[in-house]
Structure 1
Amino acid sequence: MTALFGRYGIIKYEPLLAGIAGGVVSTTILHPLDTIRTRLAVSGSPLIAAGIRRPSYGGLVDVLTTITRSHGVQGVYRGITLGVLAAGCTWGSYFFFYDARKAQMHRDDPTRASLGAVNHMMAATESGLITLFLTNPIYVIKTRLCLQFGAQDFSEEKRYSGIIDALVKTYRNDGIKGFYKGLLPGFFGVSHTAIQLMMYEEMKSTYKEHYNMSLDSRMSTMTYLSFTALSKLIAVITTYPYRLMRTRMQDQHHEHNGLIDMVTRTWRYEGIRGFYKGMLPTLLRVTPATAITFVVYENVSHYFIENSVASKNKTQ
């Protein structure tokens, strides 16, 4: 860990706290859409283990109606505790390493005004890989809790009463490797956030250069929202299939022999549309979720910066 910190150079806690705040706020507000997306991603899949009766949904409204009819409103909030934990850890870790990597790049070349698209992509990719490895176990458990759709349809070992029970049973059945199911498509998914961050940073840089603003100056909330939404929209559309493959591989009821087998069988039985199941609720959730996350992150970050400047001024 010391070597890692040494490599990344300047380590600051502000991006970590700002990232956690953004992830927690957005997930708390929009968790129901994540539950719906997860259900749609595996809806009607022919890859389910024999004997398992999984509901087949007609769309977003049908999922919502079915869940609330069977479990009430609380049904769409199933797994929210883990969802909040996952989002907080993911965005906190991501921004922590991303900011540190950018700081190191700036220190290597102090004359550089802006890092540029390539360096932003590199920093985002490295940060994403570290974050993926640290948080994948959380997402495995979160996905499995979201897919508790009918206790009578599967064995006791695949029925979870809560987070601890899911952790224990996943380890008992699959060992440590069980917590890293979906890791391979997750590696491809790092490109999703890298594309998004690169576009977001370039939009900000271009905007500030156009209006002669300093790189650390604050923009309006609407500007942050617009840049985040546009960059996220493009990233989701271009990388969604990996997200669906990851969800299916983490699903305790899917039987497969790895990523290639999952991709091949999805194509054979469902065609190209099979790779985009659940994309609409994903867009409806992740676009505003990411917008909220980034707006909270930017504002909390600027709060820390302004506080730090004010403190320095007082001591002088």
Structure 2
Amino acid sequence: MHVAPPTELRHHALLFTFSHSGEKRRQRHAAVAADSSGSSFSLTASLMRLSKHIKYENLAAGLSGGVISTMVLHPLDLIKIRFAVSDGLKMRPQYDGMMHCMKTIWKVEGIRGLYQGVTPNIWGAGASWGLYFLFYNAIKAYTQEGRQTELSAGEHLVSAAEAGILTLCLTNPVWVTKTRLVLQYNADPSRKQYKGMMDALVKIYRHEGIPGLYRGFVPGLVGTSHAALQFMTYEGLKREQNKYKKMPSESLLSPLEYITIAAISKIFAVAVTYPYQVVRARLQDQHNNYSGIVDVIRRTWSNEGIEGFYKGMVPNLVRVIPACCITFLVFENVSRLLLGEYH
């Protein structure tokens, strides 16, 4: 019997080891590829399922509510932003209160002054509410697909947060533009930095690039918690009201019930999350330079204390509560009318 020398045995052993490890690598790569392919297929399948729940009637209804409420209440939004950024700079007009602010703007700039920035506000509010209701209802229906049980408060919260992130990614440049336009204090049009919405968009992009159009995006992401809390509360109160009336959870309520539920949910959300709006407005303001969110928080706390984070909240509540009530009332009725569910 022939016995191979030790060197030959080692050679065969090495060949077997390399061959075996190579086979293992090929198996791992194949498994990774299969897993990647499976994940890609799963994502595509999920998106296809989600797309089936998209109803453009919700987009139209949300857009209608956002546009109507904005046209009625824009002056209060302008006042809220001017108070939010009032950090003591001498270039800013000084106001003693809401009525004094409104009278001053009216005296210096007239009705045009009270409606500065209304165009991007209409675009922003219309698009935001329309897209938000579109995404939210699609995600909610997708989550509930094949289930008999109602969504929990946590699932409503997550659905609303996901819808908010998607909406913010598409609309942040419009909100930057609106903030810049309402913070033009000079009554002389020739001395204003921006002539209108498109002029502001072009100039911001030209001088500050994409980062300029997405100023305030991170606090805006934090702000999605505001809408998420609002929608979670709104859905819960709506369900409880129908349960109290011994009606199905999605039954149509009266206008007064929608208004009351919308107001309560908005007050709760504002009380919890308002400081992010101050931080966001100050980041988007062209009259002051902050290095980032931490810098805004540090300087606001140092110069103004806790009150600095709640500046403009009263005019904000005066504006957002009726705006929210109008938006939700219009959405609930228009969406059901367009979807053929109005009885």
Aligned residue number for residue 6 of structure 1: 48
Q: Residues 251-278 of structure 1, C-alpha deviation per residue, up to 9 Å, x if partnerless? A: 1111111000000000000000000110
Q: Where in structure 1 do 4 or more consecutive aligned residues deviate above 4 Å?
A: 2-5
> How far apart are the structure 2 equivalents of 1:305 and 1:284?
32
Q: Residues 211-250 of structure 1 correspond to what in structure 2 (within 5 A)?
A: 211-250=245-284
Q: What's the counterpart of residue 195 of structure 1?
A: 229
Contact 2:78 2:182 in 1 (8 A): yes
Q: TM-score, normalised by structure 2?
A: 0.83
Deviation at 1:194, TM superposition (A): 0.4
Other-structure match for 1:33: 76
Does 1:252 find its partner at 2:286?
A: yes
Per-residue CA deviations over 1:185-233 (Å, capped at 9, x if unaligned) read 1111110000000000000111112222123321000000000000101
Residue correspondence of structure 1 range 151-230 to structure 2 within 5 A: 159-230=193-264
Shift in alpha-carbon separation, 1:216–1:305, aligned structure 2, 3 A: farther
Q: Distance in 2 between matches of 1:7 and 1:240?
A: 36
Aligned pair partner of 1:120 in 152, 156, 160? 156
| Superposition deviation, residue 151 in structure 1 | 6.8
Partner of 1:110: 147
Amino acid at match of 1:187: L
Cα contact 2:113–2:187 (8 A) shared by 1: no
**What CA distance in whole angstroms lies between the structure 2 residues aligned with 1:16 and 1:5?**
18
TM-score by length of 1: 0.90
Structure of greater Rg: 2
Could you tell me which residue of structure 2 aligns to residue 129 of structure 1? 165
- Give the corresponding residue for 1:18: 61
Q: Distance in 2 between matches of 1:11 and 1:301?
A: 13
- Alignment of 1:64 with 2:102, yes or no, is yes
Q: Distance in 1 between matches of 2:295 and 2:120?
A: 29
Write the distance in 1 (CA, Å) between the matches of 2:288 and 2:152: 42
User: What are the Cα deviations for residues 125-181 of structure 1, in whole angstroms up to 9, with x where unaligned?
Assistant: 0000111111100000001000010278xx97x711111211121012110110000
5+ residue gaps, structure 1, are: 311-316
- CA-CA distance at 1:83 after TM superposition: 1.1
Distance between the aligned counterparts of 2:56 and 2:92, measured in 1?
A: 44
Identity %: 47
Measured in 2, the distance between the counterparts of 1:69 and 1:272 equals: 32
Residue matched to 1:314: none
Secondary structure, counterpart of 1:303 in structure 2: helix
> Does the 8 A contact of 1:229 with 1:290 survive in 2?
yes
- Distance in 2 between residues matched to 1:32 and 1:76, nearest whole Å: 5
Superposed CA deviations along residues 73-97 of structure 1, whole A, max 9, x for unmatched, are 2210111121111111000000000
* Secondary structure, counterpart of 1:185 in structure 2: helix
Larger RCO, structures 1/2 (Cα 8 Å, 6+ apart):
1
Task: Structure 2: state its 5+ residue gaps.
Answer: 1-42
Query: Match of 1:53?
Result: 91
Question: What's the C-alpha RMSD, in Å, of the aligned pairs?
Answer: 1.9
Match of 2:186 among 150, 153, 158: 150
SS in structure 2 at match of 1:115? coil
Does the 8 Å CA contact 1:151/1:159 hold for their aligned counterparts?
no
Shift of 1:243: 0.5
Q: Distance in 1 between matches of 2:222 and 2:244?
A: 34
State the distance in 2 between where 1:132 and 1:292 align.
21
Contact 1:5 1:11 in 2 (8 A): no
Return the match for 2:120 from 82, 87, 106.
Answer: 82
Q: Quick one: distance in 2 between partners of 1:216 and 1:274?
A: 41
Check conservation: 2:173, 2:201, Cα contact below 8 A: no
On the 8 A contact 1:32/1:76 being kept in 2, the answer is yes
Q: Is the 8 A contact 1:40 1:63 kept in 2?
A: no
